[in-house]
Structure 1
Amino acid sequence: MMQISESYNQKNSLYNAMNRFIGAVNNMDQTVMLPSMLRDVPLDDAEDVKADGSAYFHDGDMYSSYLLLKSIRNHMEWGILQSDEWRGGQAELPQASPPDSEDDNLEKQFHFHLTGLHAVLSKLTLKADTLTSRYKEEVGCRN
């Protein structure tokens, strides 16, 4: 079996981005002992603000972010169809529209979606890490 060293390219692979996200959400889940404490606590700390003054996350309180991150992790680990099945199969999967939907340009479509997925996973990982840090501040246990 070939031994894999983590080169620069592997560090930025989709697989590693997914593992970083799942690890960050698992860490968040293990840290947050009382999710109800997150209700009505805004996730708008100074570290959540970009250089232009806009916020990274616009989805309400820390509790809704906590639930969103756990839901996304579950979809990644168990698949989207699994959750659709327990909803009674009523949910439909959204159809993405890449810039060029010609079948002969599959590589371009793949790179478009891969780039987007990698960017989203990076933002979600940052969100999970931020939520974990904010929770620690709220309960007064800083490492």
Structure 2
Amino acid sequence: MKFVVDMLDSVDRHNLIVSPGCDMPYDVPLENTIAVAETVRDIEKYRELIKNYESVTDDASVELPDYAALKRPLLEAFTLDSASCAACTYMWAMVQDAKKEFGDAIDVVEYKYTSREGIARCRKVGVKNLPSLYINGKLAYASIIPGHEELYEKIRGLL
């Protein structure tokens, strides 16, 4: 509810449509959908309800790699979930193709926004868009799926 109140406060509501994204089929609890609808319908009621709400975040358990000490390039794909989000599927497939191309010369990992650890890692890294690809801790692609040669050229430049 807090997200919905904050979002509605940050945009012009003229002709605004609040709609679920590609994560909707991914086991979103019905209660969450109802909460969003109710908040949109009666924002003042829910603004009052959440006025003292403080989110508890625990990013301390997430340890980032020592990027300066990596022995080989590290490709980190931050996705909603490559099993349920089309763009995320394409991003992760591109990273897996790079792994096939370069083998043990690179390391790859996917972090999904569907787990507390994944969310905490996104916050700690500063991920703004999903999917995103970070190479050696630096944003390489945000919501853009690179072509094979473009990505491979970046990787070759790091080997």
Answer yes or no: same fold by TM over 0.5. Answer: no
Structure with the larger strand share = 2
**Which interval holds the TM-score relative to the shorter structure?**
under 0.3
Structure with the larger helix share = 1
Q: Which has the larger radius of gyration?
A: 2
